[in-house]
Amino acid sequence: MESTSSGPIRGRGKNKRVWTPKEDAKLIESLVELCVSGKMKCDNGFRPGTFAQVERLLEDKLPGCGLKASPHIESRVKTLKRQYNAITDMLSHGSGFSWDEKNKMIHCHIDVYERWVKDHRDAHGLRLKPFPHYEDLKQILGKDRVCKKEIVSPAGVMKELHQEEVANNDVGLDIVEADVSVAQPSTSASSSKEGSAQSCRKRSREYADLAEVMVRTCNALERLISCIARQEEKEQRVDKVVGELVKLPGLSKLDILKLSEVIISDPVKVTLFFSLDEDLKKEWMRQLLRTT
């Protein structure tokens, strides 16, 4: 990530901190736990109080680390999000970029990379640099890139077109009024101005009606995307729980099926499940099997 040393850095700002790989790993682990619980994300990103929850989790995982929600965690998540988005943009571009799964880094020819960085400053320094948490960040941040597509932009475009039309007609009316006042009687100027004003009002109503239709359509699309995102998040949560249960020794396929149904049905159980070490998980699973 940024460095392997820890502690405050002086000279560039009192809140500047360099995170260790272990701190990064525990930060990502905490974010994944909250993401799996379903209590971290909302349509516009992180729920209020998310970083405070992460702060408490990090204090448990790294006693005495001193990492605070603000500015440490908030700043680090912002940096990781910027790097994740830069890598995702490069991979989405397709031409000349690839992901090295073994070494967890972006691959591309130096010439391709240098041309890209000229227009994408956030990609600076990411070529051949290990980014081990990319897949976890995809689970944590991936929905943001879907939900933040500007699905209401058509209405915004209509509004801008309408404003531009009104502005142009206002200028046109002034010109017509000035020209006609010199060349024709005032009655002609008044008639011309009234006709142009009526035309402008008609176009304004048409723009308003079309904008309303576009807004309703965009709102429906937003609800659909949100629904899909929640379903995908639920499926990821199921896959992750099942994946962890498979790792526990002594569980049959039927046991895994029963346990996954019990755990997934309760977000509190999901959070607890991922916070326990292997021994405690095994003991808890035995208790759950005896009661199901």
Handedness of CA 177, 180, 186, 188 (dihedral sign): negative
| pLDDT tens series, the chain, 292 aa | 444 334 443 334 455 688 999 999 999 999 988 888 776 665 556 788 889 999 999 999 999 999 999 899 999 999 999 999 999 988 887 678 888 889 999 888 898 888 898 889 898 899 889 999 999 998 888 655 544 444 444 444 454 445 545 444 444 444 334 344 444 445 555 556 566 667 777 777 777 778 888 888 887 887 787 777 667 667 777 778 888 888 888 888 888 888 888 888 888 888 888 888 888 988 999 998 888 7
The string of DSSP letters for 127-147 reads BT---TTHHHHHHHHHHHHHH
Structure tokens, 185? 């009687």
- pTM above threshold 0.75: no
Cβ–Cβ under 8 Å, residues 58 and 67: yes
Structure tokens, 86? 């830069």
d(CA 80, CA 19): 11
Burial 15-52 (b: 16+ CB within 10 A, else e): eebebbeebbbbbbbbbbbbbbbebbbeeeebeeebbe
Which H/E stretch holds residue 1? none
Beta pairing, strands 105-107 & 98-100? antiparallel
d(CA 271, CA 35): 9
Could you check whether the bond before residue 132 is cis, i.e. omega within 30 degrees of 0? no
Burial (CB count within 10 angstroms: exposed 0-12, middle 13-18, buried 19+), residue 141: buried
Rounded to 5 degrees, φ, ψ at 228 are: -65, -40
pLDDT at 20: 93
d(CA 35, CA 42): 10
Location of structure tokens 């897949």: 135
> Which of the 8 DSSP states describes residue 156?
H
Cβ–Cβ under 8 Å, residues 215 and 155: yes
Amino acid at 176: V
- Within 13 Å, how many C-alpha atoms sit on residue 209's CB side? 6
Location of structure tokens 């799964």: 101
Q: Nearest Cα to 141, choosing from 46, 220, 247?
A: 46
pLDDT at 23: 93
Q: ∠106-112-115 over CA atoms, to 5°?
A: 115
> Which of the 8 DSSP states describes residue 95?
S
